[in-house]
Every structure is written in C-alpha cells, then in structure tokens.
Amino acid sequence: MPDRGGGPSGPRIRVGRPSRRVRTLLMTLGVLAVLAMLFVMFAGFWTDWLWYRSVDYSSVFTTTLGTKIGLFAVFGLLMAVAVGVNIWLAHKLRPPLSAMSMEQQSLDRYRMSVAPYKKWVLLAVTALVGLVAGASAAGQWRTWLQWVNAVPFGQKDAQFHKDISFYTFDLPWYRFLLSFGFAAAVLSLIAAALVHYLYGGLRLTSPGGRATKAATGHLSVLLGIFVTLKAVAYWLDRYGLAVKSSGLKSADGWTGLRYVDANAYLPAKTILFIIALICAVLFFATLWRRTWQLPVIGFGLMVLSAVLIGGLYPAIVQKFQVQPNEQAKEAPYIKKNITATREAYGIDGSKVKDYAGASDIKGKDKEKLRADAASTASLRLLDPNVVSPAFQQEQQVRGYYQFPSTLDVDRYKVDGKEQDTVIGLRELNLKGIPERNWINDHFKYTHGYGAITAKGTSTDKAGAPDFTEKKLPTEGMLGTYEQRVYYGEKTTQYSIVGGPQKELDHPSDQGETSYSYKGKSGVNLSNPVNRAAYAVAFGEPQILYSGAIGKGSRILYNRTPKERVESVAPWLTIDGDAYPAVVDGRIQWIVDAYTTSNGYPYASRTTLGDTTADSLTTGQRAVVAQQNQVNYIRNSVKATVDAFDGTVKLYQWDAKDPVLKTWMKAFPGTVKAKSSISPALMDHLRYPQDLFKVQRELLTRYHVTDPGTFYTGSERWQVPDDPTNEEGNAVPPYYLSMKMPDQQKQTFSLTTTFTPKNRPNLGAFMAVDADAKSSGYGSIRILKLPSETTVWGPEQAQSKFNGDTRVADQINIWKRGDSKVEYGNLLTVPLEGGLLYVEPVYMRGTGSNYPLLKKVLVNYGEKIAFRDTLDEALDEIFGEKGADAPTPPPPSGEPTKPPVQDATVKQAVKDALNAYEASQKALDNKDWAAYGKAQKELKEALDRVAKAEAKAGGEGSKPGS
C-alpha cells in the first residue's frame, strides 16, 4: 500500500502496548478524577441543601430545584426529539444512490466516514442541543412559576382591555415558548438540510433538479412551521406594543402605545399576521404540489409587506400626521401613560398642593414663628452620615470592632416620648484582629457586641453624640437584650462555633471573657460528609481535619441580612439599607423587600440602580439591584433577620399586591401574614428609602397629570445635587419627625426637595408618612412653590451660608489650625408659608479623627444665623435682634473709635487665636488640664485686647480727636 500520510517512507517505530500495571494505574487515576469532579458538584448541591434546611426554608430549595430540573428535562427533551426526529427523517428520505456526480463523489468520503457512527452522531447532536436548550429553559423558572401561579390584578389595560396579569405573567411565558419554537424550527431546518445535502436529497451543482420530492416536502413543512411561528409572533407583537419602550422627548423610559403605534403599527401587525398564515399554508401545500414556486413567492411578499406595511407606512404616518401636530395627537396616549405610571409606582395617591414659599419675616408674628419652629419638626442635628467616626472613637473599645460608615435613624421611646435616635451596631472587624490566622479569623473572633444609640436632636457640651446606650456590654435606654451580633452588614466571613474551640465574647476590666455559641443557627459539622463538603465548597481543607472542629461545631455563613433574605426569597428585590432595631430583647435587622415587574402596560420604565443612587451610594451604602429595569414596584414584604441566630422571617406587608400573591402561591408557607407582626416590631418599621427614591425620580415628571403640560415639560423638576458632597451626586432623602401644613402633629417622615429643571431655586418639597403605625403611612405630600418664587434651593442655601461673613471668618479661623470642617444634613422644613433650612456644622480638630458639632446654621428668608446651638440660632432668626447682629453705625456727630493699630494689640489678637486653637485640640483629646491652661491664656489675651480698645476709646473721645 502506498504511504497516504504524505511523509517519508522508512522503518516504522511501533509503540508497544502499555503494561497491565500502567493501564490499571491510568484507569484508577481516571476513575478518581471523575469521582472528584462528581464530589465537587455534589458538595455545592449538598451544602446548599444543608443551609436551606438550617434556616427552615427547605421548600424554597426544593421548589426552585424541582422547577429547574423539570424545565431542563421537558424542554431539553423536546428540543432533542425535534432535532433528532428531523435528522432521522431526512436520513430515511434520502434518495437511492445513482450515477455519481462530481459533487456526490466529493461527499462520498464524508458519508463513508460517518456511516459506522451514525447512531452515535445522532445521539451526540441531539444530546448537545438538548443540553443547551434545557439549560436555557431552566433559567426561566421564575417565568414559569409566575405563569402557572398567576393571580389577576383586577385591572385592565387601556388599549386591549386585558387584565394586567396577561402582560406581567402570561406574555413573558408565551414569548419564551415562541423563542423556543423558533430555535427548534431553525435547528431542525439546518440539521435536516445538511443531512439531505450529505445524502443527495439536495444538490447545489449537479445537473437536474436541485431537490428530491421527499426533501422538498420535508423542508417545506419545516419552513411552514417557521412561518406559522412568525404569524404567532406578529399576533403577540400587537400586545407587546402596550409594554414597548419608545422615545418621547418629554419622558425618559416612555412605555406604551403612541399615536403611530395605535394607528399604524397595530393594524400593520394584524395584516402581517394574516399574510404570514397564508404564506405558511402555501409552504404546507408543497406536500402535494411538490414545488416551491408559490411558497417562495408568498414568502417574498411577506418580507416585502413587512418592509412596506411594518416599516415604511408607520414612518409616513409619524412624519406627515403626527409631527405637524404631535401634542394633540399624542395627548390621549400621554394620559394613559401618566395614569398607568402613577398606579404602577404607587404615586397615584400623591397630593400636590400649592405653597406660597414666602419666607419673609416682616409682617409675621415672630413669637409664633419661633414657637412653630420648635414644634414643627424634631430637627435632627446628629447626621448619621457624618458621625460614625465619633461612634468609632467613643464606643469602639477594641480594634476588632467597627461601626458602619453610615448609621441609621430610628425611633425609641425615652420617658414615654418617642425620640429620633441614631443607632449603629458594634460589629466584628477582622482587619483589627491583633494576630491574623485561620483559628482567630474563623473560631475565636466570631461576633460583634451591642447596639449603640444617641439622641438625634442634641449633642453633649463638646459636640460629641449624646449617647443613650453605650459601653461594653452596653447600658442605657434599651434595657436587657441579647447583645451578641453574629449576623450583620459587615459580617461577610464564615465562622465555626459551638465546638471545642472557645470564642472571645467581649473584653472586660478582668480580661477577655469566653463564650460558646448556644444558638440554633448554622450547619452541624459533626458529620464527616458535611465537613468534606464544606472543605470543598469553601476551598479550605483544614475544615476536614482540624482538631478545633468537633462535637457541637456549627458553621455560620451567608451572614449579611441582604444575603439571607435574597437566598430564602430569590423572587424579591432587596432594599440597599437594612437597619437594626432592638425588639423584644433581641437585635433584629429589618429589611425592606420589593416585588417588581417589567411588564406593566403603559407604565414607563426606570433602572433601579440609577434612580436609587445618591451621594451616599458612592461606597457608603449599597444600591438596590444595579441593572434591574422595572415599571412596577411594591414594598410588599417586610423581613427581619435575627442578629444572634440568623432567623429570617418574611411578613406580607402589601396584602393587595397580585405579584406577591402569585409568589406566595408558588412558595406556600414562606411569607407570614401581616397580623403576625408584633407591636414592638411595628414600632420600628418605616417607609423604605429606595422605594422613596424611585418614586421621587418618577415624580419629577409624573406630578403633572395634564397631558399638554407633561408634553411641553414646562413643569418638570429634578432632584438637586447634594451641596455638602463634593462628588455632586443627588441629595439623599432624610428621615425626620415633622408635620406638614395639613397635619396636626409631628409624624416620622422621609423628606426630599426638588428644583425646577436646570434651575437652582426650590421647586417643591416632598414628604411621605414613614411611620408604619400611622393611619396615613405611605401618604405622599408635595408642596409646589410658585414658578416665579425665588426661594433658595439646597445648593443656593449652601452657597449663601458659605458666603456669609461670619460663617466664612469662623471657618477660616478653624482651617488655620489645620482643622477640617464637615457639613451635616441640610434639613428643609416647611414653616408658616416659608421654608426653614437647618444644617449642623462639624469640625475635626488637629489630631482628632472624629467630628464634633460646633455650630448650627439656620436660614429663613434672607436671614442667616450661625450659632453654637439650634435654640440660639432660632432665637436670632425670629428674635428682635440677634446677639451677633451687626452693630449699627453711631448717630451723626458722635465720635468713632479709631482702629487698633498698636503692635502690642496685634500680638494679643494673635495670642488669642493660638489659645483658642489650643483649647479646641485639648477638647478633642479630652485633655482637661491642657484645656484649662489654654482657656486661661485665651482670657489673658482677650483682657489685653479689651484694655487696648478701652484706651483707644478714651483717646477717641478727647476733644479735637
């Protein structure tokens, strides 16, 4: 035989067959490798099951897993059968081999090479497409569960008069089925065409007919199925217009039909549906006619119709009917969009009232204004976004504890009266552990300790937080409660507790106290299979053989509140800010969760990651669902996570939400009734920030209900940038106990401001009743200022503050000593037809790493006060004359004092400044001896200045001076 390898001929080297020992070794290694891969897969599955069982939500695991497996099996099998049957049928319909053409001769070697393995090739191809299709279908488990458990909304859309549930639950599933059908038809068509070509049913270059009758009939049926699916797609596209996003210059994210959709695209889709059905019938008719002439003509007409009727005709209608009179043409559709959007985001009940915005004190009762300023709001001076370093400095105690960079605002009763309170948990900080190793990181340092609280409306004499719960263990207003924090926002590592290795409980004057976890949380590691599974899952082999693990050992992981709620309820969208509360002797993390949809007809869409971003989400707190685009949202679930044992509880908050009802049908027993919420927990529930930010963004446009005004955009607002933040991001909303003009008493509220589009002055003020116990919970009130009013917006107010002479001089004095000035939350409060601005000013002295409240800025109308306390500032604003008011010039003819120019006086002034800065440093460091010395030096310097001025005054009063 000639050498067909193309290489030189010569003696061949025969490689001997491996020895039996080598073959056995290789086979053993192969089996071990397969077993290792299988165990890695098993470890992931097994640890997930153990975790869900440990939190008593095993039904969530089994339901999601069973749904995924079912979808994978059904749709994978359907795809495999569809493609496999068509490959088999194409092979069965192959023509008998006749005179071989050049084309067939070239294909012959491929047929010969495939012939011995035809069954294996068929199995491999069908298995591959089945696996891909099954994996794709498994990803649709949410769509399937919503479709099969759908609960009607009880509302119909404005165009087709179908229940909203058709668009939110049914249409997504129908579209998936349609896409699956298209994929099956196209893959079957390609596979069948290849087989027909390989076995001579199709010919590209051979003389005679290009296709056998059998091949023609087979492929025509597949093309007919494809065109039939296209007809179904045209029909569903009609309903898709109600949830289609399109451009309207006055509305970002516009969704729903416009004039051209209702009058051009909608009839076009109906016509194309009919044409596609006729074309499909022509393809099926080739089974009898055995010619492609008519179906090809029909298909060509369908494509031409799609271009002319589906593309050109709508463009003509838009150009010549809509554009010349767009506002009038679009008005009915804008009205539908406004109505649907306001309903979908829960802002349809928002009340917009005109507000004078007249902050002029002249002609008003100043005493009444002063009294109202004190009673209208509990003006919070302790900014939770600024004072975390003060909590850290005063209450950290050890380096292995930490507080979050942004603290939380809640309400607690002090002496029977509800008070705004700033709260933070003392969580574990692994970076502060003196000696880092595996035992310390995961066995010894396992938990934080205690909740620290401070009054929101006052500070101590030094300007530090006025703590109402402090020390370690903590003491104060919270009473006795379980202080250990095993689950928290900063607790991201796993810990192994309850076994032979004791934990550090907390430091004390007598040394470190030990503790062994007694909670029910975590997964038991006594079982060697469990240990092996976690060793693989966490990539830590020491878990398998460490002597620190033994009887009673339990592994804790998934420890942040957000992680735990997301895991037990993967169908919920979680708010970016979980907050702690001490409830019935336990620290509970409260987590707000949302049901969302992207299929609410006519409601405009928004991207949650964009609308919930503000000046605090640039590293301080999380953003909800970064890329999640929705057009329906409800805060339908309130969840709690126990900080000690990690218990997760879900409570139904919105009993009317059909999306939540659908998920509760899919996962029965996972969500408790609203009536299960205890009164103690209800005291701490509040309106969630992320929902409020989504609503305020929509209300910049959708506070307008008149289509004409909406179209022109003349009343459009914007959320102002945070004037206290150098990054220039949106101002965050603020929790504040206050009363709006139509309210009789203060209510815990969430507030924000608006400015007119591209203008700095104030456009509106918005507040929502955030107290879950209130009968008006969730009521949105908006005070709209007249367009011609020039009430300062937040950025203008901050600019006016900074430009005030007294403020600028004091800030410069602080900065000379290398002190850092930080501005707190700029609070806005409606007051007697005007707006009151209040802003705390903090200073970090040299050598101090935490801010102290030093001054309070207050503005009402054109008046600005800059005082040590809020009361003093309000007195200055609303009093007859503030203590720091400018001294009027002397009456005409009276002598004036000459300026002090003496070098001795200049030195005395300089000494006074130096003594003041020294006293501030001593105050920051709580060095009372140094503070007393500096105060004495300051008094001496000021006495020298006073004597010099008295002397200069005496000289100035002499005759002829």
What tens digit of pLDDT does each residue of 336-361 get? 999 999 999 999 999 899 998 877 77
Element spanning 192, H or E: helix 171-198
pLDDT at 959: 35
Please say if the pLDDT value at position 951 is more than 70. Answer: no
621's tokens = 């707190």
Place of tokens 């459009």: 716
Contacts 24+ apart (CB under 8 A), 49-56: 50/523, 50/530, 50/533, 51/523, 51/557, 51/558, 51/567, 52/567, 52/568, 54/521, 54/522, 54/523, 55/521, 55/564, 55/567, 55/568, 55/646, 55/647, 55/648
Q: Which two tokens stand for residue 397?
A: 């105690």
For residue 443, what is the DSSP state? I
Mean pLDDT score, 887-901: 39
Model confidence at 888, in pLDDT bands (50, 70, 90)?
A: very low
Helix, strand or coil for residue 363?
coil
Closest CA to 400 of 497, 516, 490: 490
Kindly indicate the confidence band of residue 663, based on its pLDDT and cuts at 50, 70 and 90: very high
Q: What is the mean pLDDT of residues 936-951?
A: 65
**Both structure tokens of 31:** 């089996």
Copy the structure tokens of residue 362: 């002249």
Residues 58-95: tens digit of each pLDDT? 999 999 999 999 999 999 999 999 999 999 999 888 88
Predicted confidence at residue 895, as pLDDT, reads 40
Q: What is the pLDDT of residues 570-622, one digit of tens each?
A: 999 999 889 999 999 999 999 999 999 999 999 999 988 888 888 777 654 55
When pLDDT is averaged across residues 756-769 and rounded to a whole number, the result is 92
Supply the Cα-derived Rg of the chain in whole angstroms.
Answer: 37
Alpha carbons 33 and 376: distance in angstroms, whole number: 72
pLDDT at 845: 74
Strand partners, 454: 422, 467
Which runs of consecutive H residues, i.e. helices, occur in 498-607? 528-537, 542-545, 561-568
The predicted model gives 267-283 an average pLDDT of 93
Burial class (CB in 10 A: 0-12, 13-18, 19+), 362: exposed
Distance, CA of 639 to CA of 659 (rounded, Å): 17
Please tell me the distance from the alpha carbon of residue 499 to that of residue 522, in angstroms, as a whole number: 12
Mean residue pLDDT across the chain: 86
596 beta partners:
633
- Give the pLDDT score at 105: 62
pLDDT at 271 over 90: yes
Report the candidate in 413, 546, 543, 549 with the shortest Cα–Cα distance to residue 468.
Answer: 413
Q: What is the predicted pLDDT for the residue at 942?
A: 65
More confident residue, 321 or 11: 321
pLDDT, tens only, 400-446: 999 998 999 999 988 778 889 999 999 999 999 989 999 999 999 99
Q: Which pLDDT does position 2 carry in this prediction?
A: 37
The reported pLDDT for the residue numbered 890 is: 39
Mean pLDDT value of segment 672-684:
95
Q: What is the pLDDT of residues 88-142, one digit of tens each?
A: 999 888 887 654 666 566 666 666 777 777 888 888 899 999 999 999 999 999 9
Residue 294 has a pLDDT of 78
Residue 208 φ then ψ, to 5°: 95, -160
Position 100 scores a pLDDT of 60
Structure tokens at 364: 């008003």
pLDDT value at position 928? 58
Tell whether the model's pLDDT for residue 803 goes beyond 50: yes
- Amino acid type, 957: S
Residue indicated by tokens 């596609």: 276
In terms of Cα–Cα distance, which of 734, 747, 739, 789 is closest to 764? 789
DSSP strands (E only) in 666-815: 717-718, 734-738, 747-756, 764-769, 780-784
Does the pLDDT at position 886 exceed 70? no
Beta strand pairing call for 780-784 and 820-823: unpaired
Say which residues have a Cβ less than 8 Å from residue 827's Cβ, sequence separation at least 6.
377, 379, 380, 734, 736, 751, 837, 838, 839
Q: What is the pLDDT of residue 31?
A: 80
* Cα 771–Cα 776–Cα 778 angle in degrees, nearest 5: 65
How big is the CA angle at 862 (ends 699 and 369), to the nearest 5 degrees?
Answer: 80
Kindly indicate the confidence band of residue 815, based on its pLDDT and cuts at 50, 70 and 90: confident
User: Which residues share a beta bridge with 841?
Assistant: 823, 855
Measure the CA–CA gap between 461 and 48, rounded to whole angstroms: 53
Per the CB < 8 A criterion, the answer to whether 520 and 610 are in contact is no
Looking at residue 908, what is its pLDDT? 67
At 569, give phi and psi (nearest 5°). -135, 75
Q: Are 153 and 52 in contact (CB under 8 A)?
A: no
Q: What is the pLDDT of residues 175-186, one digit of tens each?
A: 999 999 999 999
E strands present in 562-622:
573-574, 579-583, 586-597, 606-607
Closest CA to 144 of 709, 666, 682, 743: 666
Per-residue confidence (pLDDT) for residue 567, from 0 to 100:
95
For 434, the token pair is 């003196």
70, with CB counted inside 10 A (0-12, 13-18, 19+), is: middle
Q: What is the mean pLDDT of residues 310-328?
A: 89
Q: Is the pLDDT of residue 298 over 70?
A: yes
The mean per-residue pLDDT over the stretch 490-512 comes to 90
Amino acid identity of residue 881, one-letter, is: K
* Identity at 802, one-letter amino acid code: N
Question: What does the pLDDT read at residue 830?
Answer: 92
Asked whether residue 804 carries a pLDDT value surpassing 70, the answer given is: yes
Spell 101-133 as b/e; 16+ CB within 10 A means b: eeebeebeeeeeeeeeeeeeebeebbeebbeeb
d(CA 188, CA 85): 9
pLDDT tens-place string over residues 832-859: 888 999 999 998 876 667 899 999 999 9
Question: 372: pLDDT confidence band, cut at 50, 70 and 90?
Answer: confident
Torsion angle, CA of 652/658/660/666, rounded to 10 degrees? 120
As to burial, measured by CB atoms within 10 angstroms (0-12 exposed, 13-18 middle, 19+ buried), residue 704 is buried
